[in-house]
Structure 1
């Protein structure tokens, strides 16, 4: 439960007289709108305890119910307070970041401390830890007598809000709002420091999706969700009277660009549903973000730049690997499709969070570093700064190309069984162990006379097979489940060694 809601429950539980929304607002340091939204949550929490919120026109609000019920609610509240104390440093910093980014007034460190159940000193340490990241986003965290606030251009503030929403562990909860047609709102604050509940997200997402624009069919689910979050951020910033600014030259360039009509339809749908107004700049701002994640097949300049970028990457990889990647049509096609929206992101400094980046860096470390090195040429030629998130996605295209060229292990099967059993065993291994190919089967009595240098691995149905300085794996003639597991484990290690990209990279001076 949101900490502010808990504070309101505590206020009303300990107050016999009526309290006005303004009085509650002053205590919890929130807007009238936020307090009224919180009071709806308070009502739903109180309902199971037969406690009501009585509203009296011109007087205020009072909590009414049996004393035993109030005591039970108070006990529950105390338990919930304890659970809310378990904020990790990163979770606290994410909370503070979103709070100061979306607040309309400076946030007092004392109030942030009360919300997070930590000292003012801890809040100051967390804010200090945030400063470098905000600086990287071209924003400044200002601490003054009035409180803590963020200084910078509105588009950078929106980008930073987007980043923290994407990085937050609650991000995945938004997927259910989109995917589950039977979703039932609980007025839950998905992001505790943002004054909007799951219902607010759900309602706005549906308003946008009900436009049934064809562009949604072009997007993967992840990209569609990213676009919906961008729209939501624009919506809440307009509500808080925080307009975005774009230069006149940039606006003129966008007049004949793609996706203006789609952006306009989305904005009109929100205007109709919420009685707010998107000015022309806001429509163009949304248009840019649609362009950044949708391939723009009609924009010639982007087409040309995307082709050049794809070719430069491919030739960079060719210098690093002993393989003609320029002959791989599938690599160029997939890379070109990625580079088209990527160029829009890079041109306008639009971040794209790569949730797979830690896995990519760990599992494909060498390939990632090679791609990062190749991107330096693109940065020089185009004047872009390419983030690790973007490089991570480019790395996956190279990984896919390398996978297409990976060679199975050339395996010799040494057997003491009949031809029929051997054929059965050969087919089983080829079908069930994807890393291996049984290219030849020989009798156990003749393997010593064979040239074994061309084989990567040896399998034998008898423990009597001994090959000096070579690995021999003992299996049963019928290949049971234990054998399959063993072969896949052993085979994968040999397969990785045989196809290790570092073996094909040229030595650097």
Structure 2
């Protein structure tokens, strides 16, 4: 049976519990996120099924393993066996292979790796191709010798840099730091091997102990190291001392970067003082230079520290970078001074890392790519355009994305508007409002109303409605919560806010897809298509009509009138198959939430072009024949059954404007033909500006 290392650890934690254990408790024990624990649940269930055990989940209590005591004991014995790692994920497997090769002084046979990792020989050979490509970036050669096996050829210093990158990529920062602090529960196969097989764990822990005081020196000098960079510094320093003891020092003395500051040189001296006190050894000139280089690469000046003259040119490039990003996004960010200062400080170090051949691991790169999909691609293109002489790996791009994500968050701060609905008195409503504003600073409760008062509110003025009682609204529009707002409800509210903040990013992504279609065309074809788009858009606006009805008009009156318009355009409205309140057309008919407007779509192979009209009930509210809600107008969209890209873009623009724009809804409710035509014109012009 195969399972990942993490799955094995989670099962071990759960099986030792006598009762239920929460995901949070598991995550805390392993020093990982709850999301990471959840990702392993399917694999855990598969493993348990092999022993006729199941994973029982109970809300608010957690999970526990259910089954016979005999089967539980068999599973525990299997997990406690000396097979520490059973690798199933490709990246985990390749890191395991690299870890073994880095520590080996001799050739290792591929067949032996296949047996140890419980995989096939072709899989190992395929892994070796990818490993070889990675090694090249570290100036290491993967040597494959027939009859002998495989071996890493390169200086020990480069091998150590590769090792640090693997540790950073494989082990969470919290777990690695906990292990350095002497916590024996911070189990990981690599750490176990460093402890028992390779014997330099004590050196790393002693370096950590001696260099902890350096943090205060950094603060006094106006510098700081992020947690991940600090861990790299400690491990690289320990490995440098180990190389010296093994007689494998890289003694070439290179000139220090001229941009190294006097503060960085002073910090190097302090680090050497701490290390000398701990290890009682002398440091050579090349050791001084190596430590100084590491501090220069891995530390940053605090944002309040005045930027030096050497960063003036970089600031200009960063400004161009921001301008390029905002041009693609359509959002103005240049006035965000924190974004500028943060990027300058980060880029300064990132470029030094890239140019010195050091790589950085981003442990949340996959989450960043998923949550900021289009923004990630925009920043990747912009970085490689502005900094064309330097190659930014995706892990570095991920960190740049976070700077822009923070800036976008600042743009949306205090814009999440809450309406609280409560029937049990103003005291409980105030309690709920107070809890919300205390727990989530970026929101503000705009109003508190009773259930009766809800009907008088313009719900488009709010981003979310919270109610202590069930409402007749669509579930997407509101959340039912208790006045005390329990943790689960608070989590739901925060998730709603997260989605709200990323509306801008979703719009960027949709616009990016539209623009991509245009970019794939050549210039002449793009102009021709643009001309077609403009002509079709103009035709829809010119043919747009308002059909007026009295409040006593029946459904049949409305459908007959629409049918008459359709007949004049050369096709029949087939009511038997597409009646508004029957059959398939119900899928294309609805009342737009929180408005007095309904929306009806009709499509058929007989329709030749897109048509738009509004049925207006002369300012009177009438009962909608399907939902029995009160409406003032009905939008009718008619289009061919099969539409081309241009027609689809036009339809999407119209529906987006009608459903999302409160001003457009107001014009439709009033039956304002000129206003509707004007809004449509502006919508089409904005779309053309974006794709150009």
Shorter-chain TM-score bucket reads 0.5 to 0.7
Residue equivalent to 2:226: 220
Who wins on radius of gyration, i.e. which is larger? Answer: 2
| 2: CA distance, partners of 1:227 / 1:491 | 36
Give the one of 310, 331, 342 matched to 2:350: 342
- 2:265 is aligned to 260
Cα distance in 2, alignment partners of residues 172 and 494 from structure 1: 28
Task: Say which of 360, 363, 366 aligns to 2:371.
Answer: 363
1:381-426 per-residue CA deviation (whole Å, 9 max, x = no partner) reads xx11111111111111111111112153444556777777766665
Partner-residue secondary structure (3-state), 1:326: coil
Question: Aligned with 1:142: secondary structure?
Answer: strand
CA shift for structure 1 position 122: 7.4
Match in the other structure for 1:404: 410
The secondary structure found in structure 2 opposite 1:354 is: coil
Contact 2:113 2:124 survives alignment (8 Å): yes
SS in 2 for 1:83: coil
Alpha-carbon distance change, 148 to 322 in structure 1, aligned in 2, over 3 angstroms: closer
Going from structure 1 to structure 2, the CA distance change for 1:85 and 1:215 (only over 3 Å counts) comes to: closer
Aligned to 2:525: none
Please name the residue that 1:86 is paired with. 86
Q: Note closer, same or farther for the CA distance 1:208–1:425 as it changes in structure 2 (3 Å cut).
A: closer
Q: CA separation in 2, counterparts of 1:298 and 1:430?
A: 36
Task: Tell me how far 1:438 sits from its aligned partner.
Answer: 4.0
State the partner residue of 1:501. Answer: 504
User: After superposition, where does 1:230-249 map in structure 2 within 5 Å?
Assistant: 230-244=236-250, 248=254
CA distance in 2, matches of 1:302, 1:176: 38
Bigger mean CA deviation after superposition, 354-363 or 259-268: 259-268
Question: What is the match of residue 150 of structure 1?
Answer: 152
**1:281-430 equivalent positions in 2, closer than 5 A:** 281-296=286-301, 300=308, 302-380=310-388, 383-406=389-412, 408-412=415-419, 427=434, 430=437
Secondary structure in structure 1 of the residue aligned to 2:152: strand
Q: TM-score, normalised by structure 1?
A: 0.66
1:228 CA displacement: 0.3
Contact 2:379–2:397 (CA under 8 A) maintained in structure 1: yes
Shift of 1:131: 1.9
- Give the equivalent residue in structure 2 for 1:190: 191
SS of residue in 2 equivalent to 1:149: strand
| Cα distance in structure 1, aligned partners of 2:457 and 2:85 | 70
Distance 1:341 1:474, change over 3 A: closer
Match of 2:235 in 1: 229
Note closer, same or farther for the CA distance 1:456–1:253 as it changes in structure 2 (3 Å cut). closer
- Using the alignment, how far apart are the partners of 1:418 and 1:125 within structure 2? 68
Contact 1:309 1:339 in 2 (8 A): no
User: In 1, distance between residues paired with 2:494 and 2:184?
Assistant: 46
1:127 and 1:354 map into 2 onto residues whose CA distance is 23
Of 444-453 and 155-164, the range deviating more from structure 2: 444-453
Structure 1 residues 271 and 97: alpha-carbon distance in aligned structure 2, compared to 1, 3 A threshold: farther
DSSP 3-state at the match of 2:191 = coil
Counterpart Cα distance in 1 of 2:219 and 2:435: 44
| Deviation of 1:167 (Å) | 2.5
Mapped partners of 2:506, 2:110: distance in 1: 55
Distance of aligned partners of 1:204 and 1:130 in 2 relative to their CA distance in 1, 3 Å threshold:
same
Structure 1's 377 and 425: CA in aligned 2 closer, same or farther, altered over 3 A? same
* Superposition deviation, residue 500 in structure 1: 1.4
Q: Which 5+ residue runs of structure 1 have no aligned equivalent?
A: 1-77
How much has 1:162 moved relative to structure 2?
A: 1.7
Cα contact 2:168–2:228 (8 A) shared by 1: no
**Aligned-residue RMSD, C-alpha:** 4.5
1:19 alignment partner in structure 2: none
Q: Which residue of 2 is the match for residue 67 of structure 1? A: none
Deviations 1:322-372 (A, max 9, x none): 433122222223323322322322332321211121222222223222221
> Cα deviations across residues 135-165 of structure 1 (Å, max 9, x unaligned)?
3434221123555322345554332122122
Cα gap change, 1:119 to 1:240, in 2 (>3 Å): farther
Measure, in 2, the Cα distance between the counterparts of 1:427 and 1:268: 53
- Identify if the C-alpha distance between structure 1 residues 121 and 237 changes in structure 2 by more than 3 Å, giving closer, same or farther: farther
Q: How does 1:268-279 map to 2 (within 5 A)?
A: 270=275, 278-279=283-284
How far apart, in 2, do the equivalents of 1:335 and 1:95 lie? 34
- Count of residues in correspondence between the two structures: 424
Contact 2:435/2:485 (<8 A) preserved? no
CA shift in 2, pair 1:298/1:443, >3 Å: closer
Q: Which runs of 5+ in 2 are unaligned?
A: 1-77, 512-689
Cα distance in structure 2, aligned partners of 1:456 and 1:115? 55
* Map of 1:169 onto structure 2: 171
Give the distance between the partners of 2:241 and 2:405, measured in 1 at CA.
39
CA shift for structure 1 position 259: 2.6
Partners of 2:96 and 2:457 in 1: how far apart?
68
Maintained 8 Å contact 1:260/1:283: no
- CA deviations over 1:440-463 (Å, ceiling 9, x no partner): 456656766665544444566776
Task: Specify whether residues 378 and 420 from structure 1 end up closer, same or farther in structure 2 by C-alpha distance, changes over 3 A only.
Answer: same
Give the superposition deviation at 1:290.
0.8
CA deviation after TM superposition for structure 1 residue 262, in Å: 3.5
**Which segment is superposed worse, 122-131 or 371-380?**
122-131
Distance (Å, rounded) in 1 between the aligned partners of 2:192 and 2:219: 25
| Mapped partners of 2:455, 2:309: distance in 1 | 65
Shift of 1:101: 2.4
Distance 1:257 1:494 in 2: 45
What is the deviation of 1:201? 2.3
Give the 5 Å matches for 1:412-491. 412=419, 427=434, 430=437, 437-440=444-447, 452-458=459-465, 473=478, 475=480, 479=483, 481=485, 489=492
Q: What pairs with 1:60-75 in structure 2 (closer than 5 Å)?
A: none
TM-score, normalising length: structure 2: 0.51
Q: Per the alignment, in what secondary structure is the counterpart of residue 192 of structure 1?
A: helix
